[in-house]
Amino acid sequence: MTLTMTKQAPIGSGFGAKTTAREAIAGVDLRGKVAIVTGGYAGIGTETTRALVEAGATVVAPARSPEKARAALAGIDRVELEALDLADPASIDAFAQRFLASGRALHILVNNAGIMACPLERDARGFEPQLATNHIGHFQLTARLWPALARAKGARVVSVSSRGHRRSKLVFDDPHYERRTYDKWEAYGQSKTANVLFAVALDARGEKHGVRAFAVHPGVIRTDLARHLSKEEFEGMLSRLPNLTWKTPEQGAATSVWCAASPRLSGMGGVYCEDVEVSGIAPDNDPTAMKGVNTWAIDRDAAERLWALTEKWTGVSFRP
């Protein structure tokens, strides 16, 4: 496998935490391009969809509830609504088959949808729900859409991760909490680490086909992602993180659209980005650090191990 390594270090983007999605891709022409944004109808997903459309792209916004998506995206041109449940393998395959049947190339795939800190309610395959939705479902979706990504001859895949990856590395001995006590925050962190590892492994495979992958931390935004938390839990979480900088949804979408479309990242991939910039590396032994990516999330051996496991879990042999 040949990989031109992109250094995990800032490139001097000129942007920052307050940059908006529109500002992040100002001047980028996406006319004739097609994007898919999972969860592209809620929170930062809506602003990701809006920014890509305003740059000229056609955006497919798959959702578990197309009716909800229709109401959220009313008035935005060039948006196509589709049904998709990332926790349902048959739904993933059906969505991908419909898109591939259109014969279109896929220039941008933003794996944005996700869940956070939810109870342990196993899916149909017996998987822990956060790893299943945030990583495994998106792995299968990307695999099924691969022919359209390769057809673009210059596509990008963006995995929306989180600073939450710092809560847990991938616990390969028991990823689905079959033997250890379930901790919803640890499980969330593990799923977000998986998002970064997926970008590392996908970029290694996709580079020779013109498909580059990135992982992003969007920032801290008030969205429906926190729906599983009580008011007391939410306020308690905030009290333990006094140095948080809040972002608006449009600021939260900025790093995703920058990774999806900015020419500044041409020829690059396999890196974790935040605040519209390639991130530096954070010390693994300092959980209070507010910026940077842990080395366990960009470890290529761990990325390959997770890739092989996810092929086994999904039954999808994804070898571009």
Catalytic residue annotation: 188
Q: Residue 294: name the closest of 160, 168, 106 by CA.
A: 168
Closest-CA residue to 83 (of 67, 103, 105):
67
Grouping H, G, I as helix, E, B as strand and the rest as coil, residue 88 is: coil
Task: Produce one character per residue of 208-224: b if its CB has 16 or more CB atoms within 10 Å, e if not.
Answer: ebebbbbbbbbbbbebe
Structure tokens at 13: 């983007």
DSSP labels for 108-120? EEEE-----S---
Largest CA distance in the chain: 52
Instruction: Find, among 58, 51, 59, 43, the residue nearest to 25 by Cα.
Output: 51
Angle at which helices 44-54 and 254-261 cross, to 10°: 40
Residue 256 burial (CB count, 10 A): 30
